[in-house]
Amino acid sequence: MSTSANTVVLDPTGELKTQHRELVTRPESLNGLTVGLLDISKARGNIFLDRIEERLTAIGAEVKRYAKPTFAKPAPVDLRHEIATSCDAVIEALAD
Protein backbone atom coordinates (compact mmCIF):
# COMPACT_ATOMS: atom_id res chain seq x y z
CA MET A 1 0.00 0.00 0.00
CA SER A 2 1.25 3.48 -0.87
CA THR A 3 0.01 6.83 0.36
CA SER A 4 0.60 10.34 -0.86
CA ALA A 5 -1.26 13.23 0.76
CA ASN A 6 -4.84 11.91 0.76
CA THR A 7 -4.31 9.18 -1.84
CA VAL A 8 -4.17 5.51 -0.89
CA VAL A 9 -3.19 2.94 -3.54
CA LEU A 10 -3.71 -0.72 -2.75
CA ASP A 11 -1.33 -3.25 -4.25
CA PRO A 12 -3.42 -6.09 -5.74
CA THR A 13 -0.62 -8.66 -5.57
CA GLY A 14 -0.74 -11.61 -3.22
CA GLU A 15 2.01 -10.36 -0.91
CA LEU A 16 1.57 -11.41 2.70
CA LYS A 17 3.45 -8.38 4.07
CA THR A 18 2.44 -4.84 3.17
CA GLN A 19 5.26 -2.81 1.64
CA HIS A 20 5.43 0.97 1.62
CA ARG A 21 6.28 2.34 -1.82
CA GLU A 22 6.64 5.97 -2.76
CA LEU A 23 4.54 7.12 -5.69
CA VAL A 24 6.42 8.47 -8.68
CA THR A 25 5.66 12.09 -9.49
CA ARG A 26 3.15 12.29 -12.32
CA PRO A 27 4.02 14.35 -15.38
CA GLU A 28 1.96 17.49 -15.90
CA SER A 29 1.15 16.36 -19.44
CA LEU A 30 1.61 13.24 -21.56
CA ASN A 31 2.16 15.33 -24.70
CA GLY A 32 5.48 14.27 -26.22
CA LEU A 33 5.99 11.41 -23.76
CA THR A 34 6.07 7.69 -24.51
CA VAL A 35 3.28 5.77 -22.81
CA GLY A 36 3.38 1.98 -22.61
CA LEU A 37 0.07 0.13 -22.72
CA LEU A 38 0.33 -3.27 -21.07
CA ASP A 39 -2.32 -5.83 -21.93
CA ILE A 40 -2.30 -8.48 -19.20
CA SER A 41 -4.08 -10.91 -21.55
CA LYS A 42 -7.50 -10.86 -19.90
CA ALA A 43 -10.63 -10.80 -22.02
CA ARG A 44 -11.42 -7.41 -23.60
CA GLY A 45 -8.38 -5.67 -22.13
CA ASN A 46 -7.22 -4.95 -25.68
CA ILE A 47 -10.52 -3.13 -26.40
CA PHE A 48 -9.95 -0.87 -23.41
CA LEU A 49 -6.37 -0.20 -24.50
CA ASP A 50 -7.45 0.57 -28.08
CA ARG A 51 -9.60 3.43 -26.75
CA ILE A 52 -6.84 4.64 -24.43
CA GLU A 53 -4.39 4.63 -27.35
CA GLU A 54 -6.77 6.78 -29.41
CA ARG A 55 -7.02 9.32 -26.58
CA LEU A 56 -3.27 9.36 -25.93
CA THR A 57 -2.28 9.87 -29.57
CA ALA A 58 -4.87 12.65 -29.83
CA ILE A 59 -3.05 14.57 -27.10
CA GLY A 60 0.38 14.02 -28.62
CA ALA A 61 1.74 11.01 -26.74
CA GLU A 62 3.68 8.24 -28.44
CA VAL A 63 2.18 4.84 -27.59
CA LYS A 64 3.95 1.48 -27.35
CA ARG A 65 1.87 -1.67 -26.91
CA TYR A 66 2.95 -4.66 -24.82
CA ALA A 67 1.26 -7.88 -23.73
CA LYS A 68 1.89 -10.39 -20.98
CA PRO A 69 1.87 -14.02 -22.11
CA THR A 70 -0.74 -14.83 -19.43
CA PHE A 71 -2.66 -12.93 -16.78
CA ALA A 72 -1.96 -15.70 -14.26
CA LYS A 73 1.70 -14.79 -13.75
CA PRO A 74 3.70 -11.58 -13.36
CA ALA A 75 5.15 -10.08 -16.52
CA PRO A 76 8.50 -11.63 -17.45
CA VAL A 77 11.57 -9.71 -16.26
CA ASP A 78 12.68 -8.92 -19.83
CA LEU A 79 9.28 -7.40 -20.64
CA ARG A 80 9.27 -5.30 -17.45
CA HIS A 81 12.78 -4.09 -18.24
CA GLU A 82 11.83 -3.15 -21.81
CA ILE A 83 8.81 -1.19 -20.60
CA ALA A 84 10.77 0.54 -17.84
CA THR A 85 13.55 1.64 -20.18
CA SER A 86 11.34 2.59 -23.14
CA CYS A 87 8.39 4.40 -21.55
CA ASP A 88 7.76 7.50 -19.47
CA ALA A 89 4.47 6.13 -18.12
CA VAL A 90 2.52 2.85 -18.23
CA ILE A 91 -1.18 1.98 -18.27
CA GLU A 92 -2.14 -1.61 -17.53
CA ALA A 93 -5.45 -3.12 -18.75
CA LEU A 94 -7.37 -5.08 -16.13
CA ALA A 95 -10.62 -5.65 -18.03
CA ASP A 96 -12.78 -8.77 -18.10
User: What string of H, E and C letters represents the secondary structure of the chain?
Assistant: CEEECCEEECCCCCCCCCCCCCCCCCCCCCCCCEEEEEECCCCCHHHHHHHHHHHHHHCCCEEEEEECCCCCCCCCHHHHHHHHHHCCEEEEECCC
3 domain residue, yes or no: no
Q: What is the pLDDT of residue 1?
A: 46
Instruction: Tell me the whole-structure pTM to 2 decimals.
Output: 0.76
Band (pLDDT 50/70/90 cuts) for residue 95 is low
Residue 77's pLDDT band (cuts 50, 70, 90): very high
Specify if 63 maps to a domain. yes
Domain-located, residue 15: no
Residue range(s) defining the domain that contains residue 33: 27-93
Q: Is there a domain that residue 82 lies in?
A: yes
Specify the range with the lowest mean pLDDT, choosing from 12-21, 33-42, 48-57: 12-21
Number of domains in the chain: 1
Q: Is residue 18 part of a domain?
A: no
CA-to-CA separations, 34 to 26, 55, 67, 81, in angstroms, rounded: 13, 13, 16, 15
Residue 13 lies in a domain: no
